[in-house]
Amino acid sequence: MELFESQVAHNKEYQSHKIFPLLDSLVEFYSVVYMLGPDFLTHGVLSGLLNIDKVVCSSLSGTLDSVRVVLKEGRLNDAYALLRKYYDGIIIAIYVNVYIAENYSLDNFIVEKIQNWVKNKQKLPSSEKMLKAIRNHKPLEDLEKLFDFDGLYYRIRRLTNGNTHYNKLYYLWLNNNMVHNPRRLKELDNIYACTLHLFILHFAYMYSLNPHYMMSTDYVDALDVGAQPEEGSQYWVAPYVKEVFDKYVVTIRPDVAEYMRNHTEMEL
């Protein structure tokens, strides 16, 4: 019946919103990291051939794909709740790397807390404690200053958390795609901004903590076929990394881009 027809299914302005190309791009990026990213083992963990960051990227790709699916149907509240999951996955990924960086050594070859988490024997700390540890990580204190954790990221957390727990009746209405909502496009703008700023946070920390993850395959490919790698090719950046760096980090957060260029030997 026409009475129950979705208000967004045939709305060209809604379906052509910039959030959808962004989600397409990020889903592809995380998928490529998982499939083609360097297979460096995560230090401090003994659990087969495991790179925790690749596992995280696979999961984040799925979460953002779910955001894309529910947004196409106009389920805005569900999208916000999934962004809360995206935020949590990012914080976990950064925290694990920070904790390993601060605790791994030849004398402490197995980082027990992370090893137990991988083995499903121990939970990680609360989000608040993990975020505090990230912000207190001395080697990246200059990067931490570039991110407004007490302002922008606090508001993103509060907004996505509020939608997850239905802290307002309005959040329930956001999932109804059969009624006219004059703020629907504005909500897409908000979701776009949240997604983009969360991605930039993850990108900056992931590659600042592990700049070798940016590496293109040229250097290793040459070694694999017994050829001499081209001079300096160990510093070449994978095309999929450079593409999102130029498209999102450089254009939206040039200060973060400048920091990353100045704190790595990789050719960003």
134-167 pLDDT per residue, tens: 999 999 999 999 999 999 999 999 999 999 999 9
Tell me the C-alpha distance between 11 and 137, whole Å.
46
Q: What is the pLDDT of residues 236-247, one digit of tens each?
A: 899 999 999 999
**Model confidence at 2, in pLDDT bands (50, 70, 90)?**
very low
**Model confidence at 98, in pLDDT bands (50, 70, 90)?**
very high
The confidence score (pLDDT) of residue 111 equals 87
Q: From the centroid of its chain, how far is CA 37?
A: 15
Mean pLDDT of 166-181: 93
Whether residue 3 is predicted with pLDDT greater than 60 in this model: the reply is no
Q: How far apart are the first and last CA of the chain?
A: 54
Whether residue 185 is predicted with pLDDT greater than 90 in this model: the reply is yes
The confidence score (pLDDT) of residue 200 equals 98
Tell me the C-alpha distance between 40 and 32, whole Å.
15
Mark 66-83 as b/e (b = at least 16 C-beta within 10 Å): bbbebbbebbbbbbbbbb
Determine what percent of the chain is predicted with pLDDT higher than 70: 94
Which tokens is 212 given? Answer: 């070798």
Are 45 and 113 in contact, with CB atoms under 8 Å apart? no
Tell me the C-alpha distance between 127 and 95, whole Å.
9
Tell me the C-alpha distance between 2 and 70, whole Å.
21
pTM, whole model, 2 decimals?
Answer: 0.93
- How far is residue 216 from each of residues 13, 69, 98, 142, 201, measured CA to CA in Å? 38, 31, 24, 27, 22
Tell me the C-alpha distance between 161 and 128, whole Å.
13
Determine what percent of the chain is predicted with pLDDT higher than 90: 73
- How far is residue 47 from each of residues 40, 44, 119, 249, measured CA to CA in Å? 13, 10, 8, 33
Closest by CA position to 67, among listed 162, 190, 172, 242: 190
DSSP β-bridge partners for residue 215: 237
Q: Which helix (H) or strand (E) holds 243?
A: helix 239-244
Q: In degrees rounded to 5, what are phi and psi of residue 175?
A: -90, -5
3-state helix, strand, coil in the chain (%, to 5): 65, 0, 35
The confidence score (pLDDT) of residue 47 equals 64
**Model confidence at 83, in pLDDT bands (50, 70, 90)?**
very high
Q: Which helix (H) or strand (E) holds 141?
A: helix 141-144
Tell me the C-alpha distance between 160 and 219, whole Å.
42
3-class DSSP state for residue 177?
coil
